[in-house]
């Protein structure tokens, strides 16, 4: 047997409507409702799996997803170079908008865009909670 | 790996333009961006040096339209061709569904084409993908230089160098003039979709 994929088996990677509904509900009720401007669940290829945002959000989510996947990959590679499995906190602070990245599992990453209404400490707790829930949903799906 | 969103009936797939430095990968995407403004929901993203060399990637999301009730979005990427950027090149290949290998027709670039194709094979293998099984097209770029008195390789010679074993579809093109850029894109999209048919 060759170690290579012979074909691209898409179904392995399709999430059901049920799971996506659940995930999007969680993103909305736990993050957007707490003042997060936009949250994306993406894979490391840069695909958007699920998203939640408030009505005013005008963010270019496709570019943000592509850049975040690449950036996260680059930071992970840097961690390996200095002998670390990963860096714990990935956070970029801006004047009015900030970004927070959190790894869900080997496939998924959460990006949160938030402003001054919510503190980083509270946000981290909420995201950790959401990550936990998504992990459980993801498991039951695959 | 492509992602199907059953809820929104949407498919997202990743096509990567690969090839040696200065072969014309970014120019391909720039031409597509100009031609299809209305199908592209956002600005083209380019992470590049001051000298316009790709440092990490270019990115262009491209709406193909609906197939079997699913809206298809192809995410187009280029890699940086310069040899020293291999680590970032490998990152861009993550989750790739199809590849356009852009070969440079300039005779002086003959060796660079071969090195880059071998590098593609190795980097695909690093992601557990086989160059013989992934949807792949070779584009022979810069054909507009043929009549300019600059030494350019013949198509036969390039086929021999690059496509003898692979036997994939190949297309002569000029990314600068826009010749066959869209033909290349359409072909790789249809090959990508064909590889998905089983899944949908
Ligand atoms: N004559 C001619 N020039 C071309 C063609 N395609 C690209 N070029 C030129 O080649 C140079 C390099 O093109 P790029 O598209 O930046 O090359 P690249 O493959 O993205 O290079 P890297 O980012 O370094 O990997 C530019 O000056 C282009 O104008 C072509 O079809 N014909
Ligand atoms: Mg480039």
pLDDT given at position B41: 76
pLDDT tens by residue, A16-36? 788 889 999 999 999 999 999
Lowest mean pLDDT among A19-23, A45-49, B5-9, B58-62: B5-9
> What are the tens digits of pLDDT across the range A107-119?
899 999 999 999 9
Tell me what pLDDT residue A142 has.
Answer: 52
User: Tens digits of per-residue pLDDT, B31-74?
Assistant: 999 999 888 878 899 998 888 999 999 999 999 999 888 899 99
**A89 phi, psi to nearest 5 deg:** -115, 125
B149: confidence class by pLDDT, cuts 50, 70, 90:
confident
Residue B133 has its nearest CB partner, among A5, A15, A67, at A5
With tokens 């989510």, the residue in question is: A61
The enclosing H or E element of A41 equals strand A36-43
Ligand 1, pocket-test mutation among B16, B18, B20, B24, most atoms within 8 A of CB:
B24
First to last CA, chain B: 14
In sequence order, the β-bridge partners of residue A25 are none
Q: What is the pLDDT of residue A36?
A: 95
Question: Any alpha helices (H) in B6-160, and if so which ranges?
Answer: 25-35, 86-92, 110-126, 155-158
Q: Which CATH class is domain A14-140?
A: alpha beta
Q: In chain B, where are the structural domains located?
A: 3-199
Its ipTM equals: 0.80
Which of A6-15, A96-105, B37-46, B182-191 is predicted least confidently? Answer: A6-15
Q: Which residue has the higher pLDDT, B104 or A88?
A: B104
Of A14, A49, A73, which is closest to B94 when you measure between CB atoms? Answer: A73
Q: Does B199 touch chain A (CB under 8 A)?
A: yes
What is the sign, positive or negative, of the torsion defined by CA atoms of A13, A18, A21, A22?
negative
CATH 3.40.50.300 matches B3-199: yes
Q: Where are the domains of chain A?
A: 14-140
């Amino acid at each position: 047997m060759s170690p290579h994929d012979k074909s691209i088996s898409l179904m392995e990677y399709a999430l059901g409507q049920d799971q996506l509904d659940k995930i999007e509900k969680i993103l909305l009720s736990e993050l957007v409702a707490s003042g997060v401007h936009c949250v994306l669940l993406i894979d490391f290829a840069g695909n958007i799996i699920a998203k939640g945002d408030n009505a005013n959000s005008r963010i270019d989510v496709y570019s943000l997803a592509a850049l975040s996947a690449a950036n996260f990959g680059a930071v992970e590679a840097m961690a390996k170079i200095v002998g670390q499995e990963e860096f714990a906190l990935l956070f970029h602070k801006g004047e009015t908008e900030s970004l927070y990245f959190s790894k869900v599992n080997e496939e998924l990453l959460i990006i949160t865009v938030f402003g001054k209404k919510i503190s980083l400490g509270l946000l981290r707790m909420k995201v950790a909670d959401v990550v936990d829930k998504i992990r459980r949903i993801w498991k039951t799906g695959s | 790996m492509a992602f199907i969103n059953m809820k929104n009936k949407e498919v997202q797939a990743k096509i990567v333009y690969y090839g040696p430095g200065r072969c014309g990968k970014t120019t391909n995407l720039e031409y597509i961006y100009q031609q299809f403004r209305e199908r592209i929901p956002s600005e083209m993203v380019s992470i590049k040096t001051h000298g316009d060399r790709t440092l990490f990637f270019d990115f262009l999301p491209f709406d193909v339209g609906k197939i079997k009730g699913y809206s298809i979005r192809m995410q187009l990427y280029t890699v940086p061709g310069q040899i020293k950027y291999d680590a970032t090149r490998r990152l861009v290949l993550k989750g790739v569904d199809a590849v356009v290998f852009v070969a440079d027709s300039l005779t002086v670039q003959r060796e660079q084409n071969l090195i880059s194709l071998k590098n593609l094979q190795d980097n695909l293998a690093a992601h557990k993908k086989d160059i013989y099984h992934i949807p792949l097209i070779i584009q022979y770029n810069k054909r507009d230089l043929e009549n300019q008195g600059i030494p350019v390789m013949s198509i036969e010679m390039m086929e021999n160098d690059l496509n003898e074993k692979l036997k994939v579809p190949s297309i002569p093109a000029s990314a600068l003039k826009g010749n066959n850029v869209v033909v290349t894109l359409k072909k790789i999209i249809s090959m990508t979709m064909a590889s998905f048919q089983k899944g949908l």
